[in-house]
Amino acid sequence: MAFGIKRKELMEWKTNVEQGNIAFLTHYWLDDRFPGCNTVTKVGCNNIESLIKWGKKYGLEASWIHNDPIHPHFDLFGMKQKEILTKEEQWKQIEHFNL
């Protein structure tokens, strides 16, 4: 279950992904499979090769991509989420979600 984002933020993320940009979207999230994680960051790009190349910089495997036909993305959470958001200087998302 996702919550804590505005429709405008979601639409901006989708537009950026569809335009072939690497785009970040963080939101609150609850999933019993991942205890202790209450946020997730979706890093998307509809250019799969660009997304794979971006992910390799951070040790992410191409097989971890959620292969949505329009908005393919990596899901980041936990320590890896904070590490990548910091390296990508996504300060607004870090501050907003107290990561």
How far, in whole angstroms, is CA 88 from its chain's centroid? 12
Q: Are 93 and 24 in contact (CB under 8 A)?
A: yes
- Dihedral sign, Cα of residue 88, residue 47, residue 57, residue 65: positive
Asked whether the predicted pLDDT for residue 1 surpasses 60, the reply is no
C-alpha atoms less than 13 angstroms from C-alpha of 77 in its C-beta half-sphere: 15
Q: Which residue has the tokens 């890896």?
A: 80
Token digits for 4? Answer: 């804590």
- Tens digit of each residue's pLDDT (9 = 90 or more) over 8-60: 999 999 999 999 999 999 988 877 888 888 889 999 999 999 999 999 999 99
pLDDT band at 99 (very low <50, low <70, confident <90, very high): low
Token digits for 32? Answer: 């019993």
